Amino acid sequence: MSDENDTLFSKIVRGEIMADVLHQDGYVTAFRDIAPQAPVHVLIVPNEPIPTAADVEADHEPILGRMMTVARRIAEAEGIAEDGYRLIINCKEHGGQEVNHLHMHLLGGHPLGPMLTRIPPHLNETDDT
Ligand code: AMP
């Protein structure tokens, strides 16, 4: 396998790096984030190392659909489905993506507040600094 396909998350998918895996099927693997930002913080990743959301193709639609249904099932299993939760996919540098293997964050367990808590300075017209 080429290095660019051998991501940290591919190693978790193959069981070469330990993770708290909640679900695995032929399309996706779901495991708890190592640095949780909410009481429930799970990552749902394609087994195939699609690098970013900007790389998805029509062929990937079954995988992308599975990511959504697995998110729903894990939210139910974790007891956060009724109160609600947030699904996030960061894409590339401006999206804050750190691991170059497509992944969906499932976050919940308490109120998460506004989607963006800090307005970037270049968008904040009232900022005189
Ligand atoms: P992103 O910033 O969207 O690329 O998110 C990457 C996420 O991967 C972060 O929330 C990290 O805490 C998480 N992460 C990094 N390494 C591991 C790991 N070994 N096991 C589980 N989660 C990880």
- Indicate the top mutation candidate among 9, 33, 41 to test ligand 1's pocket, ranked by most ligand atoms within 8 A of CB: 33
pLDDT per residue over 67-79, tens digit each?
Answer: 999 999 999 999 9
Q: Please say if 103 is a catalytic residue.
A: yes
Q: Looking at ligand 1, which residue's alpha carbon is closest to its atom 18? A: 34
pLDDT of residue 23: 98
Query: What is the CA(104)–ligand 1 centre distance, in A?
Result: 10
* CATH number for the domain running over 3-109: 3.30.428.10
Q: Which helix (DSSP H) or strand (DSSP E) does residue 30 occupy? A: strand 28-32
State the pLDDT confidence band at 63, using cuts at 50, 70 and 90: very high
Q: Are strands 28-32 and 21-24 parallel, antiparallel or unpaired?
A: antiparallel
pTM: 0.92
Distance of CA 98 to the CA centre of its chain: 11
CA distance 31 to 41: 9
The CB of 93 under 6 Å from ligand 1? The reply is no
Could you give the 3-state DSSP secondary structure of residue 11? helix
pLDDT per residue over 85-113, tens digit each?
Answer: 999 999 999 999 999 999 999 999 999 99
